[in-house]
């Protein structure tokens, strides 16, 4: 059983290429389908070799692709229970092995969507304009198709990842009181001495002009009269 993946747009492609892609159900980029061996399918793949890549798929890779990207009508996922009820195999792994050996066809499963919608590959393609044997990605690549499918399956869903053990919660401790920090008085730099300006001597006060003191008139003593003899 081979897996074929479309890598390029069919813009500017001729009508035969477009019709072949539709017949293979490779209607969009990153779509993948399972193609059984046969000369008629070989001719179809050769016709669209410049738009797709293909190779032999392994059972374990096909199992993962069915689990992660396989869908039923209504975008429903299916599991081992659905396989037991609607296929000849009793588990997903045995069902993938039966598809590869040709005992069962994936497209014959009830309500299955035959197309796997993959993600763009991690780290991208080398070149979608060159053939695989020329260092590109197009055309036949044998079993290396499995490496490409793994890169295009996308990350593991969150509900499938193993949950890490939750860290143990420690009892909340009362916050330690910090000792009050004593503020050290900052030493003030000595003030720069102020320049003392020389004071100008005060102008002498002018005394009020004093009025001249009037001298009292001197009385002349009267001449003494001599006594008569």
Q: pLDDT tens digit string along 99-115? A: 998 888 888 888 999 99
Percentage above 70 pLDDT, the chain: 67
- Which of the given ranges, 90-94, 121-125, 167-171, 183-187, has the highest pLDDT on average? 90-94
Pinpoint the alpha helices (H) of the chain: 15-23, 39-47, 59-69, 80-86, 92-101, 145-152
Identify the band that residue 165 occupies on the pLDDT scale cut at 50, 70 and 90.
very low
Task: State the DSSP code for 8.
Answer: S
The answer to whether 23 and 69 have CB atoms below 8 angstroms apart is no
Task: State the DSSP code for 70.
Answer: -
Q: Please, what is the average pLDDT of the chain?
A: 78
- Which of the given ranges, 91-95, 197-201, 206-210, has the highest pLDDT on average? 91-95
Q: Is the pTM of this model over 0.75?
A: no
CA atoms within a 13 Å half-sphere pointing along the CA-CB vector of 134: 8
List the one residue out of 23, 30, 5, 28 whose CA is nearest residue 138.
5
Residue 14 has pLDDT above 80, yes or no: yes
pLDDT confidence of residue 161: 47
Mean pLDDT of the 27-34 span: 94
Residue 122 has pLDDT above 90, yes or no: no
What is 2-154's CATH number, 3.90.1410.10, 3.90.1300.10, 3.40.630.30, 3.30.1390.20?
3.30.1390.20
Strands 2-6 and 52-56: antiparallel
Parse the chain into domains and list their residue ranges. Answer: 2-154
pLDDT confidence of residue 160: 45
């Amino acid at each position: 059983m081979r897996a074929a993946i479309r890598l390029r747009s069919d813009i500017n492609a001729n009508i035969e290429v477009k019709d072949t892609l539709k017949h293979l159900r490779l209607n969009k980029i990153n779509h993948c389908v399972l193609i059984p061996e046969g000369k008629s399918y070989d001719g179809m793949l050769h016709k669209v070799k410049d738009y797709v890549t293909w190779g032999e798929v392994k059972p374990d890779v096909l199992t993962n692709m069915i689990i992660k990207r396989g869908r039923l009508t209504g975008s429903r996922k299916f599991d081992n229970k659905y396989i037991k009820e609607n296929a000849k195999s009793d588990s997903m792994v045995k069902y993938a092995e039966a598809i590869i050996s040709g005992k069962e066809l994936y497209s014959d499963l009830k309500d299955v969507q035959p197309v796997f919608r993959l993600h763009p590959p991690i780290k991208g393609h080398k070149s979608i304009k060159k053939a695989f044997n020329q260092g590109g990605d197009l055309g036949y690549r044998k079993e290396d198709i499995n490496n490409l499918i793994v890169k295009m399956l996308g990350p593991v869903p969150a509900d499938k990842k193993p949950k890490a053990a939750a860290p143990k919660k420690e009892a909340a401790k009362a916050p330690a009181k910090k000792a009050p920090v004593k503020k050290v008085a900052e030493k003030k730099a000595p003030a720069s001495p102020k320049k003392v300006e020389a004071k100008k001597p005060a102008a002498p006060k002018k005394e009020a002009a004093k009025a001249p003191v009037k001298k009292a008139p001197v009385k002349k003593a009267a001449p003494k009269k001599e006594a008569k003899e």
